[in-house]
A and B are shown apart, each in its own frame.
Chain A
Amino acid sequence: MSTVLAAVDNSPAAGPVLAAARRLAGATGSSVRAVHVGEPGRPAPQELADRLAVELTVVDGTGREVEDVLLESFRAEGVRMGVVGARDVPGGARPVGHIAQRLVESSEVPVLVVPPDAPESAGRPPWRVLLPLEGDEETSRDLAGRLARLLPSDVELVVLHVATAATAPVVDHAEWGISLWAEEFLARYCPTASRVDLRSGDVGGRILEACADVEADLVVLSWSQDTSAGHAAVVRDVLAHTTIPVALIPVARRRDATSTATSASDAGAEG
């Protein structure tokens, strides 16, 4: 049985993190566990774990960075997805904390980032999941298959495509052309999605708007974990402003001179 592993500390963010992990595990038939990196003089969130009936493992982190310990835990056999809080306390739009940042950049398994003010009651099945896709075959092709293994089988997938200079579709006879384009986009990149939502403009902003408009319970971003200059702007933007959990799916990418941004999160300069 695969495991959803939640990284928890003693902050107010731990509750939503653990709740999100439980929901995801329950919906996917996975087990759920929590891991806490112990610090001298600071108790583990055992009471929270007991209340939510989640097995908590406390790992001695003496002499090591917390994020390194957590990454090691995420690499353990059977971990399907790691779950971490975006930051320790609510307080409006801000970048994610350094631990969450390190985890999403370096984890080999998908990471669910949970904002501290994520509604605990949200996410009763069937979930509605927003999936931004650029329509790049290199990354999009495999994504639908990976999602099928990560998410409950009864999710409603809503694909979002934010048209950019590289992807703005040519639509003859708009009264027909949009649906033609949308049908093929879904058939090619995500046949199980219920529909595709087409927008234009700032990618991160459109993702956040779409999350609210479609009432998504979860948004999934695929990305290359490349945080060098000109990359990951969309991921940073979404993580800073989201009020719902964000699942970050790392994808392998060829790094050559001809490669272009191929996921919504790697939209680069326009993000």
Chain B
Amino acid sequence: MVDLEAGCPGALRRVADHEVDPAWGVSLPSDRERERVAESLGALCEAGVGVRGAREEDGPGTSPLFVASGVFTADALPHLLPGPDWTRLDVSGGGRAGRQLDLREAMLVRDDTENGLRSTRFLSAGRPGIGVLVATAPTERFAVRAPFEDEPPAVEQGRAADTWWARSCDGDAGIAVAVRDRWSTQDGRRSLERVVAWSADAHSIPEVEPIVQRVVEAERVGVAALVDEHRAAWRRRWADADVVVEGDPVLQRAARLAVYHLLTAAASHGAAAIGPRGATGAAYGGHVFWDADVFVLPALAAIAPDAARAVVRYRIDRLPAARSAARALGLGGARFPWESAASGVDVTPDLVRAPGGGTIVVRTGDQEEHIVSDVAWAADLVARWTGDARFLDGPAGELVLDAARYWASRVELDAAGRGHVRDVMGPDEYHPAVDDDAFTNVMARWTLRRAAALVDARGGPTEAARRWREVADDLVDGWDAARGTYEQFAGYWTLEPLLADLAPRPFGADMLLGPERVAASQVVKQPDVLMLHQLVPDELVPGSLPAAIDAYEPRTCHGSSLSPATVAGLQARAGRADEAAATLDLAARIDLDDLTGTTAAGLHLATMGGLWQALAGGFLGVRPVDGALHVDPCLPAAWASLRMTFRFQGEVVSVLVDADGIEVRCERPLHVVVHGRPSSCDPPGRRWAARPVEEAS
């Protein structure tokens, strides 16, 4: 047995000493075929910057990557700018086994005992823009080598004394990294302590001198101290954001993986451009979709509110481009793009190569107009969760107002005075070019009404508010009283009545049946009507959720990774907790089991946001309503308890549900509504017995 600690510098011993708690560890696949899946699962992120978990020796079939969300290339179809690779080492003979992501300490640990290779790396949560990589291996298989030797010629490099630096640039964007290495050799083993500093900027080329100074200072502080800072920071983070599920180990692991990546998806300042896979991979070019506004932001609003504000800031900064886009269409307000990158113009590809050859015209960019409402909804959600009454007084409120202006100009009135939105695509992308998509129309209605209320609150012109309310009231929403739910779009019920029982879910019905057949059927890719029940339940006919689930869940094939968590949360809301748990399992395993075959390109960050929302809003039943925290849990039989910690109105709140009842812990007095009954909660907390609702003694 190789003594891995022999010859280790003191800091390396300290780092290598920690054992990964099984409740907090994600073991990376060790087979060659899933090398890239392992890299995604082993990705470390911090403040929107990410480094994939590629093995230090890289090699064929690997895809190491260091990127920053929102920092794009200058191409016509921009993608995330690859930064210099600082994890590459000249080490040989290592295997793929023994790698784990330690979520509690946010470290990637490699313990290759068979080959005597050990490494640990982390992106410091205690010191912005600093990372550490320590490694040890037998001397004959670990060569001393300067960093960045394998970078392509386009990457600028240099050296300042004992500091190596490299800088990737494209257009106005750049990522610069500075490295200081400390090598040691003892008893046949070579060890490395590497401290790195980086700077990434979407709008200016980073200067080298500041990161050189920062890495020199960090090295002076010492790896041991950096480790301590980092661990302390994560202890605080987990104390304020942990999810504890008793009774489902897979879900527990998935929930903590989700919280880790949500907490690290964006910085707490500036503007955050969060792509569907965050900074864990190059998928989608890092473009920003509704995933950021509707799936990621709601979780951030609760566990990282400043990051949520940064997501809204990203949209605010691109309001001018959105206004221009609306004007170009002859419409008012702002038309946010389906896919957005640095500039805010639409970067949705026009064509895609068809699976069997030829090309397919991409229509999402033109038709998924619901993004306009999604942006407005997200801004409003931040205000509701943070309790920041003034949040919408400023630029964030303009997002809501401009969205209303857009819809007011977009809605067409028929001879009977009913409002229609024609030729759109809802979240269910299997059905393009439909009229009166329920999600689009109801979200537009919510937007118009919300904007009217905002105008009234500001004491501004009331004609606009009146007009918007009128348009909202006139909008058709597809309500079908006979069915007790909303028709997904005009004519949906006349389509071929296929259910999503053609294959084990999740499956891509468009891949299985072909896009033409599926568009002519009732099979649904992901929640559309059901999505309304999650986002704007108060806009819907009360009590209509069960009928909506009965109508649409059997037709939903989960052809989108965004789908299962949404459905699960709603099933829990409808009291179908056991079904909900089974559905949520699909979301939990999307990346852990690579259900889509695309985890190699990055983790499904938006799914993680959906998972968090399903747990919080679905199973715990927490919602901010008029300044009160509503709690209405519904847990499956298999779970002994569920506890979630988050921030509500700026203060840390913890909600625990177990067989005995509900416990809310708070830092200041809270208005709570438990199972529909108004109540209060004073610090440190209060307990309610299990239903019927009675105050615990």
Q: Which residues of A approach B to under 8 Å, CB–CB? A: 135, 137, 141, 163-166, 168-181, 183-185, 187-189, 191, 197-201, 209-210, 213-214
Q: Check B362 against A169 for contact (C-beta < 8 Å).
A: no
Q: Check B355 against A165 for contact (C-beta < 8 Å).
A: no
Q: How far is the CB of A178 from chain B (nearest CB, A)?
A: 6
Q: How far is the CB of B145 from chain A (nearest CB, A)?
A: 27
Q: Check B511 against A168 for contact (C-beta < 8 Å).
A: yes
Q: Check B362 against A178 for contact (C-beta < 8 Å).
A: no
Residues of A within 8 A of B349 (CB): 175-176
Q: Check B276 against A184 for contact (C-beta < 8 Å).
A: no
Residue of A nearest to B281 (CB): A180
Q: Check B598 against A177 for contact (C-beta < 8 Å).
A: yes
Residues of B within 8 A of A179 (CB): 352-353
Contact of A141 among B33, B284, B348, B598 (CB under 8 A): B33
Residues of B within 8 A of A199 (CB): 355-356
Residues of A within 8 A of B507 (CB): 165, 168, 170
Check A181/B353 contact, CB under 8 A, given A174-B510, A175-B364, A200-B514. Answer: no
Asked whether any CB of chain A lies closer than 8 Å to the CB of B61, the reply is yes
Q: How far is the CB of A173 from chain B (nearest CB, A)?
A: 6
Q: Check A170 against B284 for contact (C-beta < 8 Å).
A: no
Residues of A within 8 A of B595 (CB): 170
Residue of A nearest to B560 (CB): A172
Asked whether any CB of chain A lies closer than 8 Å to the CB of B450, the reply is no
Q: Check A184 against B508 for contact (C-beta < 8 Å).
A: no
Contact with A along B345-366 (1 / 0, CB 8 A): 0001100110111001010100
Query: Measured between alpha carbons, how far is A267 from B558 in the docked complex, in Å?
Result: 24
Query: Measured between alpha carbons, how far is A175 from B362 in the docked complex, in Å?
Result: 6
Check A185/B284 contact, CB under 8 A, given A166-B503, A178-B353. Answer: no
Residues of B within 8 A of A168 (CB): 503, 507-509, 511-512
Q: Check A173 against B364 for contact (C-beta < 8 Å).
A: yes
Residues of A within 8 A of B502 (CB): 165
Residues of A within 8 A of B506 (CB): 170
Contact with A along B197-233 (1 / 0, CB 8 A): 0000000000000000000000000000000000000
Q: How far is the CB of A105 from chain B (nearest CB, A)?
A: 30
Contact of A180 among B283, B289, B511 (CB under 8 A): B283
Residues of B within 8 A of A177 (CB): 598
Q: Which of B36, B285, B508, B511 has the most CB of A within 10 A?
A: B511
Q: Check A170 against B508 for contact (C-beta < 8 Å).
A: yes
Residues of A within 8 A of B34 (CB): 188
If A165-B512, A170-B598 are given as contacts, then 20 extra A-B residue pairs at C-beta distance below 8 Å, sorted by A number, are A137-B33, A166-B504, A168-B509, A169-B508, A170-B558, A170-B561, A170-B595, A170-B597, A171-B508, A172-B560, A173-B276, A174-B362, A176-B349, A180-B283, A181-B597, A184-B36, A185-B597, A187-B36, A199-B356, A214-B357
Q: Check B512 against A163 for contact (C-beta < 8 Å).
A: yes
Residue of B nearest to A137 (CB): B33
Q: How far is the CB of B572 from chain A (nearest CB, A)?
A: 23
Residues of A within 8 A of B503 (CB): 164-166, 168
Residues of A within 8 A of B283 (CB): 176, 180
Q: Check A213 against B356 for contact (C-beta < 8 Å).
A: yes
Check A191/B61 contact, CB under 8 A, given A173-B289, A183-B601. Answer: yes
Contact with A along B19-37 (1 / 0, CB 8 A): 0000000000001011010
Q: Check A210 against B356 for contact (C-beta < 8 Å).
A: yes
Q: Which residues of B approach A to under 8 Å, CB–CB? A: 31, 33-34, 36, 60-61, 276, 283-285, 289, 348-349, 352-353, 355-357, 360, 362, 364, 429, 502-504, 506-514, 558-562, 595-598, 600-601, 604
Residues of A within 8 A of B601 (CB): 180, 183-184
* Closest 5 pairs (CB-CB, A-B): A198-B355, A165-B503, A168-B512, A184-B600, A170-B596
Residue of B nearest to A191 (CB): B61
Residue of A nearest to B352 (CB): A175
Q: Check B356 against A169 for contact (C-beta < 8 Å).
A: no
Q: How many A-B residue pairs have CB under 8 A?
A: 119
Residues of A within 8 A of B276 (CB): 172-173
Query: Measured between alpha carbons, how far is A185 from B357 in the docked complex, in Å?
Result: 17
Query: Measured between alpha carbons, how far is A163 from B401 in the docked complex, in Å?
Result: 45
Q: List 14 A–B pairs whose Cβ atoms lie within 8 Å, in order of A's numbering.
A: A163-B511, A166-B503, A169-B511, A170-B596, A172-B561, A172-B604, A174-B352, A174-B429, A174-B510, A176-B349, A176-B352, A183-B600, A197-B357, A201-B514
Residue of A nearest to B364 (CB): A175
Residue of A nearest to B31 (CB): A137
Residues of B within 8 A of A198 (CB): 355-356, 511
Q: Check B284 against A176 for contact (C-beta < 8 Å).
A: yes
Query: Measured between alpha carbons, how far is A114 from B530 in the docked complex, in Å?
Result: 55
Q: Check A172 against B597 for contact (C-beta < 8 Å).
A: no
Q: How far is the CB of A211 from chain B (nearest CB, A)?
A: 12
Residue of A nearest to B596 (CB): A170
Q: Check B33 against A197 for contact (C-beta < 8 Å).
A: no
Q: Which of B360, B504, B562, B601 has the most CB of A within 10 A?
A: B601
Q: Check A180 against B598 for contact (C-beta < 8 Å).
A: yes
Query: Measured between alpha carbons, how far is A183 from B63 in the docked complex, in Å?
Result: 12
Query: Measured between alpha carbons, how far is A238 from B219 in the docked complex, in Å?
Result: 65
Q: How far is the CB of A269 from chain B (nearest CB, A)?
A: 13
Residue of A nearest to B351 (CB): A175
Q: How far is the CB of A180 from chain B (nearest CB, A)?
A: 5
Q: How far is the CB of B695 from chain A (nearest CB, A)?
A: 46
Residues of B within 8 A of A214 (CB): 357
Q: How far is the CB of B274 from chain A (nearest CB, A)?
A: 14
Contact of B511 among A135, A171, A184, A197 (CB under 8 A): A171
Residue of B nearest to A182 (CB): B355
Q: How far is the CB of B275 from chain A (nearest CB, A)?
A: 10
Query: Measured between alpha carbons, how far is A163 from B507 in the docked complex, in Å?
Result: 10
Query: Measured between alpha carbons, how far is A177 from B602 in the docked complex, in Å?
Result: 12
Query: Measured between alpha carbons, how far is A179 from B509 in the docked complex, in Å?
Result: 17
Q: How far is the CB of B169 from chain A (nearest CB, A)?
A: 25
Residues of A within 8 A of B561 (CB): 170, 172
Q: How far is the CB of B357 from chain A (nearest CB, A)?
A: 6
Residues of A within 8 A of B61 (CB): 187, 191
Residue of B nearest to A161 (CB): B355
Q: Check B597 against A200 for contact (C-beta < 8 Å).
A: no
Query: Measured between alpha carbons, how far is A184 from B289 in the docked complex, in Å?
Result: 22
Q: Check B598 against A184 for contact (C-beta < 8 Å).
A: yes
Q: How far is the CB of B330 from chain A (nearest CB, A)?
A: 26
Contact of A170 among B36, B355, B364, B560 (CB under 8 A): B560
Query: Measured between alpha carbons, how far is A214 from B355 in the docked complex, in Å?
Result: 13
Check A178/B352 contact, CB under 8 A, given A171-B511, A187-B36. Answer: yes
Query: Measured between alpha carbons, how far is A189 from B32 in the docked complex, in Å?
Result: 10
Residue of A nearest to B507 (CB): A168
Q: How far is the CB of B637 from chain A (nearest CB, A)?
A: 28
Q: How far is the CB of A161 from chain B (nearest CB, A)?
A: 9
Residue of A nearest to B602 (CB): A180
Check A188/B33 contact, CB under 8 A, given A168-B511, A178-B352, A183-B601. Answer: yes
Residues of A within 8 A of B60 (CB): 191
Q: Check A213 against B357 for contact (C-beta < 8 Å).
A: yes
Query: Measured between alpha carbons, how far is A110 from B266 in the docked complex, in Å?
Result: 54
Residues of A within 8 A of B600 (CB): 183-184, 187-188
Q: How far is the CB of A169 from chain B (nearest CB, A)?
A: 5
Residues of B within 8 A of A176 (CB): 283-285, 349, 352
Residues of B within 8 A of A181 (CB): 596-598
Query: Measured between alpha carbons, how far is A165 from B510 in the docked complex, in Å?
Result: 11
Q: How far is the CB of B608 from chain A (nearest CB, A)?
A: 14
Q: How far is the CB of A268 from chain B (nearest CB, A)?
A: 14
Q: How far is the CB of B231 from chain A (nearest CB, A)?
A: 34
Residues of B within 8 A of A169 (CB): 508, 511, 596-598
Query: Measured between alpha carbons, how far is A178 from B354 in the docked complex, in Å?
Result: 8
Residues of B within 8 A of A200 (CB): 355, 511-514
Residue of A nearest to B61 (CB): A187
Q: How far is the CB of A203 from chain B (nearest CB, A)?
A: 12
Query: Measured between alpha carbons, how far is A110 from B560 in the docked complex, in Å?
Result: 40
Query: Measured between alpha carbons, how far is A137 from B35 in the docked complex, in Å?
Result: 14
Q: Check A163 against B362 for contact (C-beta < 8 Å).
A: no
Query: Measured between alpha carbons, how far is A175 from B510 in the docked complex, in Å?
Result: 13
